Structure 1
Amino acid sequence: MPAMSQRRIVTGHNANGESTILFDDMGTNVTHIPSWDGLYVTELWVTSEMPINNDGVADQALRPMKHDPDPSGSIFRLVEIPPESKTTFNAGGIFTELGSSNKPSEADARRHPTMHKTNSIDYLVVISGEMTMEMEDGSTLLKQGDCIVQRGTNHAWINSSDTPCLLAAILIDAKPAP
């Protein structure tokens, strides 16, 4: 199990149409990515339509792991990235296990093996730890509380610290960037 987890509260409506708490847990859909030991992804909520349908009581986070949102969909997830000094990874395997069609190109992999794009706009917050967001032109160190708007750009997450970094991420389907 991941070293870090966060409480998840999901609201909805009961049979009388009154607001209620449907789920209050630590997020039950946790996926370890074997090709990157220590990498965990916890799906908190997933949608597959726009506008989003807020009816129903099913746990929409319970689905097989997919890196990118469905067309017109969104994903709310936690990503725990281990320190690179304490783990090994197989970049091709990572993206295959995540079900991603946006695998690093050979040129991108020379910069960092996990350099990739997404067909989404991603809103991220560093919950704990720190890491570097590597871009094609520069990089920046991200620390607890930092907020990122990742607009389908080529990027990699590099954890050079001694502890895992926990990100909260909201991915929303978008046109592929150039």
Structure 2
Amino acid sequence: MGLRPIRRIVTTNDKTGRSRILKDGYATNTFSVLTELWTTDRSPASNEGDLDNAELSACLEPPAGGTLFRYFEIEPESKTAHLSKQERYEAAAAWFAEMKGSHLMVDTSRDPGMHKTPTTDYIILLSGEITLVLDEGEVDLKPFDAVVQRGTNHAWVNRGQETALLMAVLVSASPS
């Protein structure tokens, strides 16, 4: 199953300062479970130029000092229930390698998908169900619940029946 198409509208200003549409179409930079919508490489960000910044993203983390805006999808864990514990850990390791995020898997003793990014993440569950798993505790989310994830070791587990769709903005931060 492929990722659901996400329409993305990007605005810009023309040479005279008048606003216009730069891009209106489906986001094309997708990999693993991620659909990249935009990235910045510094703060304050530059709004100049006609470059499609979403095409610059190729990994789980934003650039140092930058941001990432993305959708991500988590399938129900029932789809991997037939796998052994070792196979689930190997699948998670392959998944993070595909997102160039293997180095973020600092302690997977609680769940194979645990990872820790040097970011502050603003996340909203749009559809489905998801559980945020932390080293100490977990919380079930329903659509439109929001999480501010502050550089903690965490995983997303979908114990529901349908694929969960989440929207996230990742902001580069000092490690905690």
Q: TM-score, normalised by structure 2?
A: 0.89
Between the two proteins, the alignment pairs up a number of residues equal to 168
More displaced stretch, 17-26 vs 133-142: 17-26
Query: Which amino acid in 2 is paired with 1:7?
Result: R
Q: Given that residues 36 and 57 in structure 2 are in contact (C-alpha distance below 8 angstroms), is that contact kept between their aligned partners in structure 1?
A: no
Which residue does 1:92 correspond to in 2? 93
Deviations 1:48-93 (CA, angstroms, capped at 9, x unpaired): 0111001111110013521111111100000011111114651221
Name the counterpart of 1:36: none
Q: Which residue of 2 aligns with 1:13?
A: 13
Q: What 5-or-longer segments of structure 1 have no aligned partner?
A: 34-39
Cα RMSD after superposing both structures: 1.6
Identity of aligned residues (%): 42
Alpha-carbon distance, 1:3 to partner: 4.8
| 2:117 paired with 1:121 | no
1:69 paired with 2:36, answer no
Select the structure that is richer in helix.
2
Equivalent of residue 50 in structure 1, options 20, 43, 53: 43
Counterpart of 1:29 in structure 2 is 29
> Equivalent residue of 1:95, what SS?
helix
Cα 1:101–1:48 change in 2 (3 A) is: farther
Q: Cα deviations across residues 111-147 of structure 1 (Å, max 9, x unaligned)? A: 1001111110000011111110001111010111011
User: Letter of the aligned partner of 1:58 in structure 2?
Assistant: L
- Structure 2: state its 5+ residue gaps: none
Query: How many Å separate the matches in 1 of 2:175 and 2:159?
Result: 29
Return the offset for 1:16.
Answer: 2.4
**Measured at CA, do residues 5 and 148 of structure 1 come closer, stay the same or move farther in structure 2, by a change above 3 Å?**
farther
Q: TM-score, normalised by structure 1?
A: 0.88
**C-alpha contact 1:8 1:44 (8 A) present in aligned 2:** yes
CA distance in 2, matches of 1:8, 1:99: 24
Mapped contact 2:130–2:159 kept (Cα < 8 A): yes
Match of residue 155 from structure 1 = 154
* Alpha-carbon contact 2:93-2:102 (below 8 Å) kept: no
